[in-house]
Chain A
């Protein structure tokens, strides 16, 4: 295992951060990504993990936006009692 520390990954005021600590955190991040985006068993570069994470977060932001719109429409169109029932059902899923 090389002891090379790429400077671009360190903040200027940091005390010494080991590669191992960073690799550990990056793999924990990789574990949070869905399998469709990045296979957890694969050993990928940190840059790839960060790239995929950025893409994933952006898509999640868009989904929250879109789902908020749809929920807004649903609240408007359904009877409040059936909406509540649906909501409780989804809690029990």
Chain B
């Protein structure tokens, strides 16, 4: 395939999106047990926020550093931003500029060329949906069985 367009050069010719489910589960559950052990019972809001950070961190670690979005997530988490780690501000989107809206939603999106943005978005979206599926599975499991 002609690779004249350097903006679209892709080091991975066959990208598969998303890490393995098992790896994602492993990291998240480990993080969850750490949060459980180390957060005092008196601060439920804090625990919820820590769980949310654990979700994004384990997602990013599972994706590895080859993805721009995962590097951006880990940078943000390590700098301990005051606002929630990855949740975007609710900005209004102008009718015509979908790519701009996407750049605000995908971590690290602002600096990407359009082709990279599309690919990073696909991977990020896949990972995010797997993370949600995992968390939902744990909630369902724990709700029905853990009393």
Contact = CB atoms under 8 A, between A and B. Distances in A.
Contact of A10 (B48, B114, B128): B114
Contacts of A22: 114-115, 118
A86 B141 contact: yes
Interface string A37-59: 00000000001001101101110
Contacts, number: 179
Given A15-B4, A67-B136, A80-B36, A32 B126 contact: yes
Interface residues of B, number: 64
Interface of B is mostly: helix
Interface of B: 4-8, 15, 17, 22, 25-26, 29, 32-33, 35-36, 41, 44, 47-49, 51-52, 55-56, 84, 86-88, 93, 96-99, 101-102, 105-106, 113-115, 118-119, 121-122, 124-126, 128-129, 131-132, 134-143, 145-147
